[in-house]
Chain A
């Protein structure tokens, strides 16, 4: 109490007097422990002015005023100075998000995923050897000759289109189109329901590429002619 500046104490006493309807001098006496207002004439004048203005309020709550020191039920002893929006003083740039520590939560998941893949790869490598055919011979082209599996979709396209289109135009456009996807798709939303067209287009191209690759891999036999893997065997090496 002792270290509260007097002008603040006075303001508080005025507010309390106004709210409870108790005369200022009485409130002041309670607050300062009986000491009379130390300040000279000017503050005293404002104090009386406050009391006179609060006179109608006193009339509305005469019972409470009579009870003197006790604060009546439902009366606030503090007042609202101003409302300041939190954003204005905190200058928060982004909303706080729900985050967890990378260690141990993320690193544990990553490490387990790594171990699982490594284990599967080792087991697969134990039971399945990498292919090694006979020595390369430029004079004996095997029938059929197939590209690595990820190019078999393109090789499949080569049997439908001119090499200029299937071998250059389509992969070139495909790669360039893929690279500029973020600049074509101006829709900022990431919710799947907002981007049905984008999802549909992408799924279409992925499925088309997958189907072409599967046909090129398993349904093409001698002379790169159509075949059924269950009838003529598989012409496919990894």
Chain B
């Protein structure tokens, strides 16, 4: 190891740490984790070849191609709305898992559990806030993403089917938000969901049946809470992940980002 330049022949702590870092990054275990071209690898250089490998040898290759059209990188083209919707979904999943630890989907327990988040649980209140505001923001970003896609004419061939998938994703986002709305089991939740589900009851022919299946009864009650909880944390996320996978896959199969105009 090189001397530290003070002439006393000893190595400084910083140099020793750097040496350990280099040795770890050169180890077999490290190289088994980070595939060739990863910036985490020893000796990564900023070359066109490595820039390609960063994506190609990475799980990100499912999402992004190695190269994209130059105009697609401009923030003003997409405003990152689709990506932000996906990011918000991930954030909501993480905060949602945290909230599930403290929540019981029963009419007697739900409200006290939510109320105790602000008193008994470390970071409980802010995680709940993040979950709620993030959910509202996701509805907005998904909607804005749709308007952006429309104004760019990005639903035109060959992207027609992906637009349809996107409409399904918008619907699933609204349903996720709506089912989550009931879970705090306060007056706001109960009556907002009552008003909302009353609309479903107006559906012709099967209106009453649809309403009954949705509510698990004739009005919003304890069975509704359990149903909405299962829909919110399991069924709808399962569906939306499948549709998102198809959506992202089709974005690439249909030729990447649309345009330029």
Binding site for B on A (CB under 8 A): 97-107, 109-110, 113-114, 117-118, 121-122, 124-126, 128-138, 140-142, 145-151, 154-155, 158, 163-164, 167-168, 171, 175, 178-183, 185, 187-192, 195, 198-199, 202, 206, 237-238
Contact = CB atoms under 8 A, between A and B. Distances in A.
B177 A110 contact: no
A148 B261 contact: no
A185 B156 contact: yes
B182 to A, nearest CB: 9
Contacts of A199: 151
A136 B156 contact: no
23 contacts: A98-B70, A102-B55, A102-B68, A107-B64, A109-B73, A113-B75, A121-B130, A124-B133, A130-B131, A132-B188, A134-B186, A135-B187, A136-B185, A137-B187, A145-B194, A147-B199, A163-B199, A164-B204, A181-B155, A181-B163, A185-B155, A185-B156, A190-B258
Interface stretch (B8-16, B28-36, B80-88, B233-241): B80-88
Contact of B64 (A102, A151, A163, A183): A102
A199 B198 CA distance: 34
Given A113-B80, A132-B115, A192-B151, 18 more contacts: A102-B60, A106-B64, A114-B83, A114-B87, A121-B134, A126-B129, A135-B111, A135-B185, A141-B194, A148-B178, A158-B199, A167-B198, A167-B199, A168-B204, A181-B163, A182-B156, A182-B157, A187-B156
B111 A110 contact: no
Contact of A101 (B48, B71, B170, B259): B48
Nearest to B70: A98
B185 A130 contact: no
B100 to A, nearest CB: 16
B188 A101 contact: no
7 interchain residue pairs of minimum CB distance: A190-B153, A182-B160, A125-B129, A136-B190, A167-B199, A130-B132, A99-B67
B159 A182 contact: yes
B171 interface: yes
Nearest to A127: B129
